Structure 1
Amino acid sequence: MPKSQFMESVRAALRTRQYSIRTEKCYLYWVRQFIRFNAMLHPENMNNEHVERFLTDLAVAKKVSPSTQNLALCAIVFMYRYVIGRELEGLNYGYTRTPKNLPAVLSPSEVKTIMEQLHGRAKLITALLYGSGLRIHEALRLRVKDINFYDRSVFVFRGKGRKDRYTLLPSGLVQGLMQQMEKVRESHNADLAEGFGATSVPASLKRKYQSALNDYAWQYLFPSDVRCQHPVDGYICRHHWHTSSYRRQLRAAVVKSNLPKRVTAHTFRHSFATRLLEQGTDIRTVQELLGHTDLKTTEIYTHVLGSRRAGVLSPVDGIINTKQQNS
């Protein structure tokens, strides 16, 4: 669908409320899909039935996941609430309940096996995911100034839920991070020599930090290999390394490792939390390091540890042990 005044009004509503670029792209995508599904009818002329048919088609015909259904519904609700100016009352379709799955975790030896297949910044990023409990987007958005070698801490600016926090900086990563920072400095100096050197910042912060955009301290710790145009403000800048580039290298490393597990970037964060609890770290401390608002979110890792089943003997163990003793 070409650009239209309506879609631009949706974009403006998202930016006014300071939604992230990722959320903006996602919401715009689902609004477009909703309009296309309903034969390009304007949303003002649609009713609950149109919304319900679209969501049903996603679930039945396209067989999307519950989380994708919920995302599409969130985008449509946002559009009607803030652009059309009316609530979707009486909608015969609620948010789909997503299954509560226990997270997959890796043992230290499994993490080591995967990391041995990685090199360069991909290996350093993986070490930060596992050693600091970062989400992949948090790791890629780190700037030079966010690394504090003095007190061994990493500052996470506006993590999930737009919350700032500090987490651990592993001592074993100090040398690698210093080498990475030197690479960033060399790249930044080259950009400055060519008349560039600006880093990308959220649109809402550009005016506030205008004078700092060309500072070395504000450069991304894992910058992109190429400069680009800022998607909102239009200036030429250097963004951070893209998540898809990291995920491709991680996937290749997992395949080479021959581990019979599904491993994603988030698996290392799960493994970080589980390992800390195994070592006896207080759960409140783990909650703060992970940036969880609700302690219940952190408590899921106690289920992974099997703390509630500690000491319980399976009935079959007694039978097998008895047979072994008699044989």
Structure 2
Amino acid sequence: MQNELEDYLHYLRVERGLSENTITSYHQDLVAFAQYLTTQQIKSWREVDRYVVINYLATLQEQAKAKNTIIHVVSTLRHFFRYLAGEGLISEDPMLKVDTPKSGQHLPQVLTRAEIDRLLAAPDTSKKLGIRDRAILEVMYATGLRVSELVNLTLDELHLEMGLIQPLGKGDKERIIPIGEVALDWMERYLAEVRPILLKSQSSDYVFLNAHGRQLSRQGIWKNLKAHVARAQITKNVTPHTLRHSFATHILENGADLRIVQELLGHSDISTTQIYTHVSQKRLTEVYQKYHPRA
């Protein structure tokens, strides 16, 4: 089973050209499924039928896995068994008679303007890593970058003299995003005052570096963000994606066109962007209920 799994991942990487993040998520889903099969004494992909899959999905539900997580697992298994069938490694695709659960509408967590202000002011900018973290937070909120795009941002993708950055997003798609004056100022300060010190005698194309002069990791961003959230006394569950959600929601509330937001976020399908219209409507309702005298 392990050989077929490794061949599939190689196929995704070489023939499909999928991103490493996508391949990693597929790998995690399939390893978890393979571990479940081991507990059921199933030793071959050929032994998997629709009832095995359905029982596995029921197990995930019992573990209180999120609906969107289960939907992702079904999608992963659907692609994997289609591959196995196409390669002649199984005689029948068990996923043909397994329905995909319907997605529940999940409104993303968004910070208020006041919370954003407190968070952006949280890093201690008297220290070099504080300047770096302030630049990171400002750029994330000003551009809506994914955390993967932020950590992989290179010097060649900066066009600061024009107030633009050009990150490489999902599916290796490039897009051009304006960066506001405040974020631009902090980015230029970081590049001039801090990055050369972190770099020391080393060389790196990556914009944001850790204390050792190497590429800052996703985990590093998460860890630092959690510390700044606590310092800002924000009680919401804030992740790097929360800044992306807040960016999209706030510019929509200020009258931005949905298509523009789609382009800025790098969504291939506008239906993905439409979730933010629901967030804005929810926010409008909350404001109305709070401030209207007869609400």
Q: Which runs of 5+ in 2 are unaligned?
A: 124-129
Partner of 2:55: 53
2:206 matches 1:220: yes
Percent of matched pairs sharing the same residue: 27
CA–CA distance in structure 1, aligned partners of residues 6 and 95 of structure 2: 28
2:90 matches 1:115: no
2:205 matches 1:241: no
- Aligned 1:221-300 pairs, distance under 5 A: 221-224=207-210, 240-300=215-275
CA–CA distance in structure 1, aligned partners of residues 141 and 78 of structure 2: 36
Partner of 2:127: none
Partner of 2:70: 69
- Give the drift of 1:318: 6.0
CA–CA distance in structure 2, aligned partners of residues 113 and 78 of structure 1: 44
Q: More deviation in 83-92 or 159-168?
A: 83-92
TM-score norm. by structure 1 comes to: 0.73
- Give the drift of 1:136: 1.5
| Secondary structure at 1:150 match in 2 | helix
| Secondary structure at 1:110 match in 2 | helix
- Aligned 1:1-327 pairs, distance under 5 A: 4-16=2-14, 17-39=16-38, 41-60=43-62, 62-85=63-86, 88=93, 91-118=96-123, 119-157=130-168, 159-182=169-192, 183-184=194-195, 190-191=201-202, 197=203, 219-224=205-210, 240-306=215-281
Rg (Cα) greater in structure: 1
Query: Could you say what the CA RMSD is over the residues aligned between the two structures, in angstroms?
Result: 3.2
Residues 146 and 155 in structure 1, CA contact (< 8 A), matched pair in contact too: yes
1:33–1:275 CA distance, 2 compared to 1 (3 A): closer
- Give the drift of 1:224: 4.7
CA–CA distance in structure 1, aligned partners of residues 242 and 64 of structure 2: 25
1:84–1:222 CA distance, 2 compared to 1 (3 A): farther
Q: More deviation in 281-290 or 179-188?
A: 179-188
1:169–1:56 CA distance, 2 compared to 1 (3 A): same
- Give the drift of 1:144: 0.7
- Give the drift of 1:221: 0.6
Q: Which has the higher helix share?
A: 2
1:313–1:142 CA distance, 2 compared to 1 (3 A): closer
TM-score norm. by structure 2 comes to: 0.80
Q: More deviation in 18-27 or 246-255?
A: 18-27
CA–CA distance in structure 2, aligned partners of residues 222 and 287 of structure 1: 26
| Secondary structure at 1:247 match in 2 | helix
Residues 117 and 256 in structure 1, CA contact (< 8 A), matched pair in contact too: yes
